[in-house]
Structure 1
Amino acid sequence: MGVRAEGDTIKASGVVGAWSVRPPVQTLGGVGFWALGLRNMLGRLVMSLLFLACVVLPSYQALVRLHCPEGQGCHPSPLTLVVTPPLMGATILAGFVGTLIFLSRLFRAALKLSAAEVRLPLSSLCFLMYSELLVFSVLGRDYFLNPFLSGTCFMRWLYRALGARLGRRVHLSDPPLMDCHMLTIGDDAILDNTECQGHVLVGGVLSTSPTSVGRGCVLQPGSAVFGGDRVEDGAWVGPRTKAMPGQVFSSGEHWHGVPACAVRVRTAPVQ
């Protein structure tokens, strides 16, 4: 397989054919530039809140110690010991959830401003900002979110808060948190430990473009679809299958290989 860039056109060839993709020619500037910066700051703030929550959860012990004058025996009342922990926990949880709701609304506003298709050269400041955002997304996914939320309804809520458009009964198992605002996923789709993202880096240029996954699609572990790819209704993307930029996965087909190509699946009766 070969990939090369000729001007604004990305050309790729493989064993099953060739593709020619022309990414958008816009550059990130003005409102979009500040929206990207706001997303970076919000990402840092969310990470800081997670660390802060881990630190202050046992802080109810400090309140108990307030009842203990220095140098004297500590004998807090049973009511203090029973009531203080749940009150502190409820206060911290309410503040944390309220902050996340507020941040999710800011995220949506920022993502609407920066959802345009853009091209970022490696030498640009915007590329460095976007790269930093992707690094924070990977850290948050691998160490904080997926170990606890993968496969649950809370992951869908998080994806929607980050700007993704999800259908009903979507199953997300170990999904990435990159470019959620560029993703559209249909009803009953299954994403199982797959890299479904809205950007592609080819020829020294990072290009963003919407990525769509249709109804009833299955993306198996290790598969990857990139910015501009479209998985039509009922398509199956096999394990470790890699798409080309701008590729269309036909409805009802099984796709395998690198680059991805449609294959005929034979079924045999169970003996």
Structure 2
Amino acid sequence: MARRSDREVPLSPGEFYGEELRRKRESGGLTQEELGERVVCSGSLIAHIEAGRRKPQADIAKRLDNVLGTDGFFTRMRRTLNTARFADHFAAAAELESQAVAIYEYAVSLVPGILQTAAYARSVFRGAQPNYAVADVDRCVVNRLERARILEDPGSPTVWAILNENVIRAVVGGPAVMAEQLHHISGLGRAGRILVQVVPHSVGAHATMGSMMSLMRFSDAPDAAYVEGLYTGSLIDDPALVQRYRDAYDLARAAALPPEASLDMLESVAEDYEHEH
């Protein structure tokens, strides 16, 4: 089968990056598994980078340069893969999100991005910076809502969201915004589009209470995990570490209310916000 570069079809930045990586790897006499071992990642990740399906993290690009002796080429070229739609630390995770067959979210303080309404997202972006340009906020809101479009197609990823009770008690944007947001989530749950559970405050300590996380499952690639802090985020594909995140998620799922009781709680709190408004 001819490679994409053998045809008269322009390569995307990701495909160009991947073709260059394949050429350098093969000229060095390395298999994908061997290169993965040397840069401390899986051989399947190398395969996905070479196919243009994944963007390497900054540290992996640096190690590729060191192993292949490419004098910073892959680190510099990585910048061409950046997208202005999302923060740099989230861009790779956003790309994978659209390719996943299942997404498992745990939210500790904010509604997961793919479940946010426009009003809620706008409040989040405004709150993140005291001085903001309205046009910049509008652009961020549009990009966030674009992510949520994966929920419109019944054939798109299965989504399971576990929300710490903090998420539904923090009044982001005011009572009216929160009422709309919680009804939106419960509506998706009632329609069978997502599975949602709430971990109530009464549970106390549990495995995931210290951090948000997102687990993504793929039909043709290893699972990945994403965790995020203030202005930072990490995409993880090390199988052993991803398994630890999966175990923690299962413990949170066991601690949470059942789906039906969780939907009842969301709707009850939404009604309280409506009365307050």
Which has the larger share of helix? 2
- Higher relative CO (CA 8 A, sep ≥ 6), structure 1 or 2? 2
Which has the larger share of strand? 1
TM-score relative to the length of structure 2: 0.23
